[in-house]
Amino acid sequence: MYAIVEKRQLAAGIFLMDVEAPRLAQSAQPGQFLIVRTHDRGERIPLTICNYNEARGTVTIVIQVVGASSRQICDKNVGGHLLDVVGPLGHPAAFVHFPGDVLRKQHYLFIAGGVGIAPVYPQVKWLHEHGVKADVIIGAKNADMLILQEEIKAVAHEVFLTTDDGSCGTKGLVTDKMKALLGGSHPYTQLVAIGPMVMMKFVALAAKPFGVPLTVSMNTLMVDGTGMCGACRVTVGGKTKFTCVDGPEFDGYAIDFDEAMRRQGMYKPMEAEADQKFK
């Protein structure tokens, strides 16, 4: 059993939780994920790691209510427990393995959509701790849905906010801001996009003419999280990869996003049915 030691609501239907998992906290790296189960017949829910604190022995997860299983997690409160918290799983972000002299020459631009800012945070934090510049674009539908702003501002070099309705920051899409930055004086050497699948697809299309390497996280495809179910298959450069064991991060220009989005939608009818039963 894994105790929930902190919980707070970040926005409508979005919650942050700190969970006691000392061994996981000691070995986690940015870019990795974990699997949560609420009870012995519960669904395995892969979640990217938002933060980890070795001294406290805790890991931080951010959950958005999208169906029955995520609702069950979000209904838990401080003092409650999760049955399983397994990890860290997946490969860490590629920059973790960069030689120091190569790493210090990089200038990253992260593009985060919605709850995608949660897995972006530990990466930007790690780069900040290693003296590497990282700018961040955060996009959301409106000001109320912009989350983790202060946390990101504490570790990023520059932060740019965009909202669909213009209620905070620049009105428009993250791709508009990204193109403006890439076409300006910012000498970016690496791009990282994490968010809804359709957002990452259009980030890849918009960024390609600029010739800056792009990494995307395909974590939203995962189901089992161990490579056994095959639900997270994704075509990368014409080859089949498994998001959970080969990723979750891949070359954004090599992803077949149309195929990935079709796969992502396969289980929506079953998810909707399960959510209605849970309600």
* Residue 43 confidence (pLDDT) above 70: yes
Q: Count CB neighbours of 220 within 10 A.
A: 20
- Fold of the domain built from segment(s) 2-89: Elongation Factor Tu (Ef-tu); domain 3 (2.40.30)
* Average pLDDT, rounded, for the chain: 91
222 pLDDT tier (thresholds 50, 70, 90):
confident
Parallel/antiparallel/unpaired status of strands 190-194 and 107-113: parallel
More confident residue, 58 or 272: 58
- Kindly state the average pLDDT of the residues 115-124: 95
- Kindly state the average pLDDT of the residues 228-239: 87
Per-residue pLDDT, 185: 77
- Kindly report, residue by residue over 130-183, the tens digit of the pLDDT: 999 999 999 999 999 999 999 999 999 999 999 999 999 999 999 999 999 998
* Residue 100 confidence (pLDDT) above 90: no
Residues 114 and 182: their CA atoms lie apart, in Å, by 21
Q: How many CA atoms lie within 13 A of 41 on its CB side?
A: 1
Contacts 24+ apart (CB under 8 A), 8-11: 10/62, 10/147, 10/148, 11/144, 11/145, 11/146, 11/147
Q: Is CATH 3.40.228.10 the right assignment for the domain spanning 94-217?
A: no
User: 255: which DSSP letter?
Assistant: B
User: 156: which DSSP letter?
Assistant: -
Where along the chain do its domains lie? 2-89, 94-217
Question: Where is average pLDDT lowest: 102-111, 158-167, 262-271?
Answer: 262-271
Per-residue pLDDT, 184: 82
Number of H helices, E strands in the chain: 10, 17
Per-residue pLDDT, 273: 60
User: Pick from 269, 255, 267, 272: which is nearest to 224 by CA?
Assistant: 267
Residue 226, both tokens: 């161990």
